Structure 1
Amino acid sequence: MPGMTDLSTLPLDDLDLDESARPKAPKVPAATDRHRRQGRQLAAIHRHYLMEMAQIGAVLARIEAGDAPPKDLKQIVLSLDMAENFRAFGNLCGHECRMLKIHHDIEGADMFPRIDAAGGGMFREVVAKLLSEHEVVHELIIRLGRAAEALVEDPSEAKFAHAAATYRKLEEIVRSHFGYEETELVEAIGYYLGSV
């Protein structure tokens, strides 16, 4: 479990969400279709993050397809709309990774505790699992930042391969985490919070 292990010491391949250990959220019997629609607003927020991540994936795919060698990564990234973000935060995710962390911080400090309290503790296990998954996402954001900085300093194939692998792991984890959160909390968000 991430809370019991120093994630920074784990190899990239060992960072996972242990999807088989995900508890199911209880149904909210009084939830209506309107509540579920309100709860699905979270999915719209998540789609924004995934679209931004897709821009990074497109850059990596271009390089891997041979459209641009790894030494040109900096120029490719700086030619994107995300250029200012890259310069400001020194990593491929830039502003979006920072915003993803803020999004998770808000969920952990406000949204999840409110759902758990309003639900009388019946969402405690789901909330605990989601928070432990946030730890994995945050570790991957840190690693991606470091890999991107290393790549800019030394645009070698090995550094590119490491940055690409870290990005892909982050995207895989974020997609899985978002799907779990959206599925398990759709009723609770709409019913207990009214919207996101």
Structure 2
Amino acid sequence: MLLKDIQFLDDATRPPVPVIEGVTPDQREAGNHLRDIHDYLRQHLSTLGQLIERASAGEVAASEVRDAVDSLPITANYRRFGNVCGQYCHLIHKHHTIEDQALFPALATRSPALKAVVERLEAEHVTVHHLLELMITKIMSLSDEPTRAHFDDAVEVFRAFEKLLLSHFKYEEDSIIDALGYYGIL
């Protein structure tokens, strides 16, 4: 019931990716910068998931989770913006804002064939944002009161967020990495 208000999009309804002929290795490498950013985000997502799972299994105390999260590089790098969950939210939000306001319009202008893909990616950003907000709420509830119910909620929402974000990253990479380099956007 936690996820009832989240409007998940069916992966099977994603528009097909248009093939771009003649992409050079240098163009592909330029687009791979997006994958590098996603890899950074995936690494922190994995660490956060492991911490939640370990705490839920009783392997570490909630305070140890807080301490471990506090030691993440993302925490040190963004400490001035608030808590680590807020950091991750801020980072994902900034990443998607840059895509929505700069990369996607440039792609849609240079390649009308990518317009449907870009629209889908933008719609997925909305779903990611809603789920991210819910995840942060549940993790903060867990931090405030580490009950079994709060652990279960945090794990459920985190796993849904993780599944959605990883799928989104993969589709985005498959869809636009070549185009970003080919059209000189990155």
TM-score by length of 2: 0.87
Correspondence list, 1:46-65, <5 A: 46-65=38-57
How many angstroms does 1:151 deviate by? Answer: 1.6
User: Partners in 2 of 1:126 and 1:163 — Cα distance?
Assistant: 31
Match 1:153 to one of 141, 144, 159: 144
**Residue 78 of structure 2 is aligned to residue 77 of structure 1:** no
User: Partners in 1 of 2:67 and 2:80 — Cα distance?
Assistant: 8
User: Partners in 2 of 1:124 and 1:135 — Cα distance?
Assistant: 17
CA-to-aligned-CA distance 1:126-168 (integer Å, 9 cap, x gap): 0000000001110011001111222222211101110111111
State the match for 1:143 in structure 2: 134
How many angstroms does 1:194 deviate by? Answer: 4.5
Identical counterparts, % of pairs: 28
Q: Which moved more, 1:33-42 or 1:173-182?
A: 33-42
CA-to-aligned-CA distance 1:20-56 (integer Å, 9 cap, x gap): 0111121222422221222122111100000011111
**Residue 109 of structure 2 is aligned to residue 109 of structure 1:** no
* Alignment CA distance shift 1:157-1:42 (3 Å): same
How many angstroms does 1:64 deviate by? Answer: 3.4
User: Which ranges of structure 2 fall in alignment gaps of 5 or more residues?
Assistant: none
State the match for 2:58 in structure 1: 66
Q: Which moved more, 1:77-86 or 1:145-154?
A: 77-86
User: Partners in 1 of 2:7 and 2:85 — Cα distance?
Assistant: 19
The two structures, once aligned, show a CA RMSD in angstroms of 2.3
How many angstroms does 1:123 deviate by? Answer: 0.9
User: Which ranges of structure 1 fall in alignment gaps of 5 or more residues?
Assistant: 1-8
How many angstroms does 1:65 deviate by? Answer: 3.3
Q: Which moved more, 1:150-159 or 1:27-36?
A: 27-36
Aligned length: 181
Moved over 3 A (4+): 82-90
